[in-house]
Structure 1
Amino acid sequence: MTKTLIGALLASVAFAGAAAAQDCEVTFRSSDTHPDGYPTVEAVKHMGELLQERSDGRICVEVFHSAQLGEEKDTIEQTQLGVIDMNRVSLGPFNNIIEETKVFSLPYIFRSTEHMHQVVDGEIGQEILDEFQNHDLVGLAYYDSGSRSFYNSQKPIESIDDLEGMKFRVMQSDVFVDMVDALGGNATPMPYGEVYSSIQTGVIDGAENNWPSFESSGHYEVAPYYTLDQHLIVPEVLVMSKQSWDQLSAEDQEMVRQAAQDSVPVMRELWAEREAASEQIIEDAGVQIVREIDKTPFIEAMDPVYETHVTSDALRELVDRIRAVE
Structure 2
Amino acid sequence: MPANRMRTRCPSIGRLLPRSAGARPMRPTRRCEFFWQARRAISRLCMRHNGAANPRADRQRWRAAEATRDNKPDVCNQRRKSMKIQSVLRNLALCLIAASAALSVADAAAQAKKQVKISHATAADVGNDNHMVSWIIANYINTNSDTLEARIYPANHLGEERAVVEGMQLGAGATIHIGGTAIHNNFNKRMGVCDLPFLWRNYEHYHHVIDGKVGEILAAEHEKLGLRVLGWQDSWGYRNVVTTKKEIKKPEDLKGLKIRTIQTPTYVAALNAMGANATPMAFGEVYTSLQTGVLDGFEHASAVIYTGKYYEVAKYITLTEHLFGPTVTVISKKEWDGYTDKEKQVVAAAAKLGQDVNRGLSAQRDAESMEKLKAKGMVVNPIDKSGFIKAAIPLQDQLAKSLGAEDLLKIIRETK
The answer to whether the 8 Å contact 2:317/2:379 transfers is: yes
Residue among 386, 394, 399 paired with 1:309: 399
For 1:69 and 1:45, the matched residues in 2 are separated by 17
**Secondary structure of the structure 2 residue equivalent to 1:67:** coil
> Relative contact order: is structure 1 or structure 2 higher (C-alpha 8 Å, sep ≥ 6)?
1
Deviations 1:160-186 (A, max 9, x none): 233233332223222222222212222
Report sequence identity in percent.
32
1:323 correspondence with 2:323: no
1:242 correspondence with 2:333: yes
1:253 correspondence with 2:341: no
For 2:403 and 2:294, the matched residues in 1 are separated by 40
Give the corresponding residue for 1:124. 214
Give the partner amino acid of 1:101.
M
Give the corresponding residue for 2:258. 167
**Secondary structure of the structure 2 residue equivalent to 1:135:** coil
- Higher deviation after alignment, 156-165 or 86-95: 156-165
**Secondary structure of the structure 1 residue equivalent to 2:359:** helix
Give the partner amino acid of 1:33.
A
The answer to whether the 8 Å contact 1:182/1:304 transfers is: no
Deviations 1:50-93 (A, max 9, x none): 345544x2333222223221111111012111123222232112
Residue among 249, 253, 276 paired with 1:158: 249
Give the partner amino acid of 1:284.
A
Give the corresponding residue for 1:106. 196
Give the corresponding residue for 1:69. 158
For 1:197 and 1:241, the matched residues in 2 are separated by 32
Deviations 1:28-57 (A, max 9, x none): 2222222323342332332243345544x2
- Higher deviation after alignment, 269-278 or 65-74: 269-278
- Higher deviation after alignment, 264-273 or 222-231: 264-273
The answer to whether the 8 Å contact 1:30/1:86 transfers is: yes
Distance 1:224 1:36, change over 3 A: closer
For 2:217 and 2:310, the matched residues in 1 are separated by 37
Give the corresponding residue for 1:82. 171
Q: Which runs of 5+ in 1 are unaligned?
A: 1-18
Query: Any residues of structure 2 matched to 1:144-223 within 5 Å, and which?
Result: 144-145=234-235, 146-196=237-287, 198-199=289-290, 202-223=293-314
Give the partner amino acid of 2:160.
E
Give the partner amino acid of 1:176.
Y
Give the corresponding residue for 1:9. none
Q: Shift of residue 226 of structure 1?
A: 1.2
For 2:171 and 2:115, the matched residues in 1 are separated by 13
Distance 1:218 1:319, change over 3 A: same
Give the corresponding residue for 2:44. none
Residue among 80, 88, 92 paired with 2:182: 92
The answer to whether the 8 Å contact 1:120/1:142 transfers is: yes
Give the corresponding residue for 2:115. 27
Give the corresponding residue for 1:13. none
The answer to whether the 8 Å contact 1:113/1:233 transfers is: no
Larger Rg: 2
Give the partner amino acid of 1:210.
A
Residue among 346, 353, 373 paired with 1:282: 373
Distance 1:203 1:313, change over 3 A: closer
Residue among 224, 227, 233 paired with 2:318: 227
The answer to whether the 8 Å contact 1:175/1:305 transfers is: no
Give the partner amino acid of 1:289.
V
Give the partner amino acid of 2:231.
A
Q: Shift of residue 309 of structure 1?
A: 2.4
Give the partner amino acid of 2:406.
R
For 1:196 and 1:249, the matched residues in 2 are separated by 42
For 2:110 and 2:234, the matched residues in 1 are separated by 32
For 2:142 and 2:291, the matched residues in 1 are separated by 47
Give the corresponding residue for 2:10. none
For 1:86 and 1:203, the matched residues in 2 are separated by 33
Give the partner amino acid of 1:151.
V
Normalization by structure 2: what TM-score?
A: 0.65
Give the corresponding residue for 1:264. 355
Q: Shift of residue 233 of structure 1?
A: 0.8
